[in-house]
């Protein structure tokens, strides 16, 4: 389990760093900005890496096979949602105004739902393919 935790941590941190750099490149190329604030870049990059870490490590909750899928999903959702919104509000990705918070929550729920459904469908078809190959 320790090895898996370290691997997931590494993957999550690297993915968070990649997302941060890609967002900044996108802002630079499509936003027309000439330069960035170095402290802001560092703050957002560290926050993005931490976000990648807890989403990646949080996925280990789904390895708890003695829990039902509903329990695993509920615990994962509550954990990552809490951490994400504490981080996002703390870093300033969006403020506590009603509209920004509503948009942030709706976007988060949409993305979480799409990613969860994609993973569910992927593993469903992988299991179906494996079962079909056993019955040949």
Residue 131 lies inside a defined structural domain of this protein = no
* Distance between CA atoms of residues 39 and 32, nearest Å: 20
pLDDT at 11 over 90: yes
The pTM score is 0.82
pLDDT at 33 over 80: no
Residue 10 lies inside a defined structural domain of this protein = yes
Residue 104 lies inside a defined structural domain of this protein = no
Q: What is the pLDDT of residue 101?
A: 87
Residue 23 lies inside a defined structural domain of this protein = yes
The domain tally of the chain equals 1
pLDDT at 75 over 90: yes
Q: What is the pLDDT of residues 86-105, one digit of tens each?
A: 999 999 988 888 898 899 89
Question: Domain containing 17: what range?
Answer: 1-72
Q: What is the pLDDT of residue 13?
A: 96
């Amino acid at each position: 389990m320790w090895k898996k935790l370290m691997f997931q941590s590494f993957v999550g941190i690297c993915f968070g760093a990649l997302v941060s750099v890609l967002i900044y490149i996108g802002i630079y190329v499509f936003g027309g900005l000439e330069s960035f604030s170095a402290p802001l870049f560092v703050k957002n990059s560290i926050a993005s890496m931490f976000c990648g870490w807890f989403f990646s490590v949080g996925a280990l909750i789904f390895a708890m096979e003695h829990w039902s899928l509903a329990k695993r999903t509920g615990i994962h959702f509550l954990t990552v949602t809490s951490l994400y919104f504490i981080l996002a509000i703390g870093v300033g990705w969006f403020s506590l105004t009603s509209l920004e918070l509503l948009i942030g929550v709706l976007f988060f729920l949409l993305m979480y739902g799409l990613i969860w459904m994609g993973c569910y469908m992927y593993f469903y078809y992988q299991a179906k393919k494996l079962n079909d190959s056993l019955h040949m």
